[in-house]
Amino acid sequence: MDTAVLHPNAQITFMPEDNSSEQQYSYHPSLLASLNQQLRTSLKTPAKISAEEWPERITNVFSESVCQVINDSPALPVFQQCFQELTGFYCSLDIPAPLRQRQFINKNGLVMSPDYAIRTVLDSVRVSTFWQALSNILPQYAERECHLVYPACGPFAPLLLPVLHFLREQQRLPEKLEVTLIDIHPAAAQSLQALVGATQLDSVVQVLCQDACDYRAEHGSVDILLVEAMQHGLSREGHLNICQHFAPLLAEDALLLPEKVSVRAVLTQAGDEFPAEPRAEGEKNTRRIDIGPVLELSRDTLRQLDLLRLDDGSELIRCLQVKIPEDLDTSVEHILLLTTEIQVYQHLSLPEYASGITHPLPDLSVCIGFEPRNPQPGDLLIKPGDSILFYYRKQGLPGFLPVYVEPV
């Protein structure tokens, strides 16, 4: 899912673990306004579509969209049409607007509002890459039982439901496949249940409305874990927490999708990475300085995460250490970027900038060789030759915490 920009003039809700009270956090006030305008102008669903017509419209757009992706001929209009039909169906459900628009932070991260989460369908490279992977993977389970769990899947479960319909239409859907969709948001769960019914996948799919990290099952009972609950830089949402919770539930030969998420630290000048004039397609910033890996998240590394519990109850994961080059030119200001590449399945991947979740994340709190013009309490002042150890913050808004390492 994509990024919500924090802002002091608007509110989102924090729901504590016991649901006893709510606290207020902030997000950018233009977020909802721009989304509402998008819904009004871009998603002009014909007013006379009846409830009886929606199943055919949804299944048609699923079939056409996945077919084009499988045949390596997807185009952006395909995803725009899919988005329009799905959003029209979503709006026809009469879910109260305040519920659809509600987003909050729970113990595992940011839970996006369904009104915002529906936009995942428009990230064509991300969606098509997962469709290609799953259309290859699922038929391999034709002769065996398979339990696929898709936690934090949002109101459309967009990485999976279209593929399930397409494979069933092609008579390639495994007979012993069981799918569990999980989302904590009541509006997302209501949309999911309606969408599963409209596509007549009820016999294959069950929908659970709960925190994914509260899901309980026998150890070794999950054959495929499909989870994509992150923003760029593996930030804000609960992707890592969900993966960590499900690790003991995975079967011995289970698949984790995506197979690997790799985060690295690089230094660059802001103008080089984010030029005023857009780069030509395929052109890269060649002036970056790669200072090393920060975290690699895969099925193997999940069981090896170095968890640190602090006295105040906070939980951090100790990641990797990097060193700032001693000969770094401090006559210009460098920023620290966290870059992300995602291996979805075998050769299918999401490189940098291919998707919203693989755009680099700048950490402007790290000041390397310069004094900040507007100092903030969380600033980290670093010199060339210094080392930084990264921790991953699991609670609140998850993300990486860089810490200065004292020389030995």
The pLDDT assigned to 105 comes to 97
| pLDDT above 80 for 172 | yes
Q: Mean per-residue pLDDT for 256-264?
A: 98
> 106: which strand partners?
109
The pLDDT assigned to 282 comes to 82
The structure tokens listed for 33 are 């306004």
Q: For residue 37, what pLDDT band results from cuts at 50, 70 and 90?
A: low
pTM of this structure? 0.89
The structure tokens listed for 49 are 């579509």
Q: Mean per-residue pLDDT for 337-359?
A: 97
| pLDDT above 70 for 260 | yes
Q: For residue 73, what pLDDT band results from cuts at 50, 70 and 90?
A: confident
* Cβ contact 30:10 at 8 Å: no
Share of the chain above pLDDT 90, in %: 84
| pLDDT above 80 for 27 | no
| pLDDT above 70 for 180 | yes
Instruction: Report which of residues 335 and 6 the model is more confident about.
Output: 335
- The phi and psi torsions of 125 (rounded to 5 degrees) equal -65, -45
User: How many C-beta neighbours within 10 Å does residue 323 have?
Assistant: 13
Per residue in 217-229, pLDDT (tens digit) is: 999 999 999 999 9
| pLDDT above 90 for 159 | yes
| pLDDT above 80 for 184 | yes
- Taken in order 174, 178, 183, 189, the sign of the CA dihedral is positive
| pLDDT above 50 for 6 | no
pLDDT mean across residues, the chain: 90
Instruction: Report which of residues 290 and 73 the model is more confident about.
Output: 290
Give the single-character DSSP code of 344. E
| pLDDT above 50 for 46 | no
Q: Mean per-residue pLDDT for 252-263?
A: 98
| pLDDT above 70 for 396 | yes
The pLDDT assigned to 279 comes to 85
| pLDDT above 80 for 290 | yes
Listed residue (367, 393, 389, 390) closest to 379, CA to CA: 367
- The phi and psi torsions of 339 (rounded to 5 degrees) equal -100, 150
CA distance 90 to 41: 16
User: How many C-beta neighbours within 10 Å does residue 405 have?
Assistant: 13
